[in-house]
Copies of this chain bind each other. A is one copy, B any other.
Amino acid sequence: MHEEWLEELLKFSEEDGKFSEKQLKILEAAIEMFAEKGYAATSTSEIAKRAGVAEGTIFRHYKTKKELLLAIVTPTLFQSVAPFLVKEFVKEVFEHQYEHYEDFVRTVWKNRYKFVKKYLPAIRVLWQEIAFHAEIKKQLEAVFTEHVYEKFKKIVEYFQERGEIADFPVESVIRLTITTIAGFFAARFLLMPDYDWDDEAEMERTIQFLMNGLRKKEA
C-alpha cells in the first residue's frame, strides 16, 4: 500500500527518497496524531500502535521523538513556500506572464489552495508546533528571508513602479497580501471547516478586496 501524497510531501526531505513501507506508516501515523492531539500529548507507543509497528522501529529510523517531528515539519515548511522555490518564478512576472499583480495573486492562491487541501494535517502540525519549538521558528525565518522575501519584493516593486499598487512600504504590501490570503485559509480550514463555504465566490471577493485595498489612489 503506497502513500503517494506522503512521498510527494517528503520530496524536500534530507533522506534520499528511500522510505521503507513501515517508515511511511510511522510518518503517516505521527502526522495524524500530532495534528489531532499535538506533539507533546502524543506518545511514541501510541504512534507505534497506530502504525502497526514495534516501538523500537520508530527509534531505528529517528534517534529521538523530536527528530521524527522535524522529519515531518521540515518538508512541510519547504512545500509551504514551494512556488517561491521555483527558479523561473520571478522571471515569469517580468516576462509579462502576469500582466497585473492580480494575476500573480490568483496563481499563487490556486496553487496554495490545492496544497492546503492535500496536506492539511501536516500543515496543522507545522503551525501548531511552531510556537513551542525555536528550531522550527528559526527554520521558517531562514526559509522566508532566503527564498521568499527577496523574490516577493521584486514583484511588488515591479507593480509599484507601474503605478498599479499603492506606495506602501514593500514589507507592508507583502504582509497585507499574505495575511489576507492566509486569513482566508485559516478561517476556511482551521477555525470554521464545517461552515458551508462557497470557495470560488469567497476567493473572488477576497481577491477583489485585496486588489481594491492595495490599489494606488489618483493624486
Contact = CB atoms under 8 A, between A and B. Distances in A.
Interface stretch (A10-18, A98-106, A168-176): A168-176
Contacts of A184: 175, 179
Interface stretch (A1-9, A20-28, A75-83, A211-219): A211-219
Contact of A38 (B38, B180, B183, B210): B38
Interface string A155-188: 0000000000000100010011001101110110
Interface residues of A, number: 30
Q: How many copies does the complex hold?
A: 2
A168 B212 CA distance: 14
Interface stretch (A44-52, A88-96, A107-115, A201-209): A201-209
A40 interface: yes
Contact of A182 (B40, B175, B183, B214): B183
A58 B187 CA distance: 36
B131 A131 contact: no
Interface string A55-93: 000000000000000000000000000000000000000
Contact of A205 (B38, B131, B172, B186): B172
Contacts of A179: 179-180, 183-184, 186-187
24 contacts: A37-B40, A38-B38, A38-B40, A40-B40, A41-B132, A124-B131, A128-B128, A128-B132, A131-B190, A168-B209, A172-B205, A172-B206, A175-B184, A176-B183, A176-B205, A179-B179, A179-B183, A179-B184, A180-B180, A180-B183, A182-B183, A183-B183, A209-B214, A212-B215
Interface of A: 37-38, 40-41, 124, 128, 131-132, 168, 172, 175-176, 179-180, 182-184, 186-187, 190, 202, 205-206, 209-210, 212-215, 217
Given A176-B205, A212-B213, A213-B213, 4 more contacts: A38-B132, A41-B132, A124-B131, A128-B131
